[in-house]
Amino acid sequence: MEYIKIRFGKNLKEMHSSFQRTIDEMFRRANPMLVLPEQTWRPQMDIYETPKEIVIVGEASGVLKEDLEVELDQNAVKISGRRREIPHGPGTRYHLAEIAHGSFKRILLLPAPIDPAEVTASYSNGLLKITMAKRMRDQVYRVPIDEE
């Protein structure tokens, strides 16, 4: 008889929350009313590039500008935020609930290195647009040598 090895991870809380998100998403797809009111959602994102820049456009309708945050390094962008629940009056009864709310976080790997000093972001009509200048790969940098 062979035994199955069972290993317990050190960070069970993180594993549990990942498992819980998977279960919540499964139930949300089956019936939105079965999920807890605070749910995780994933806004849709587009990434495209031109010869000089990389552009990310994210659909975040209903998110306040102050609830959005963008962090980046040369190879990736983290976009996070929160869409608040739409307030309803007493006695409200849902017949359909498809608009997700809650926190989100997307980490997007970039197709080319960027110059973090040349990044702009704008938010209009529910679309977040991040424009990043590419760092030219073929560009040669000359380093001056000082005399001592």
CA–CA dist 137, 74 (Å, integer): 13
Confidence band (pLDDT; 50, 70, 90) for 128? very high
Structure token digits, residue 47 = 């990434």
The domain that holds 73 is classified in CATH as 2.60.40.790
Co-location of 18 and 49 in the same domain? no
In this predicted structure, the answer to whether residue 109 has a pLDDT above a threshold of 50 is yes
Co-location of 76 and 102 in the same domain? yes
pLDDT digits (tens, 9 = 90+) for 64-75: 998 999 998 878
Q: Which of 26-40, 55-69, 71-85 has the lowest mean pLDDT?
A: 26-40
Sheet holding 53-59, edge to edge: 45-49, 53-59, 127-134, 114-124
DSSP tag of 19: H
CA–CA dist 86, 55 (Å, integer): 30
**What's the rounded mean pLDDT across residues 33-38?**
49
Q: How many domains does the chain have?
A: 2
Residue 147 lies in a domain: no
Pick 148 or 87 by higher pLDDT.
87
pLDDT computed for residue 10 by the predictor: 52
Domain containing 31 equals 9-37
pLDDT computed for residue 50 by the predictor: 95
Co-location of 80 and 130 in the same domain? yes
Co-location of 119 and 47 in the same domain? yes
Co-location of 75 and 56 in the same domain? yes
pLDDT computed for residue 12 by the predictor: 46
Question: Whole-prediction pTM value?
Answer: 0.65
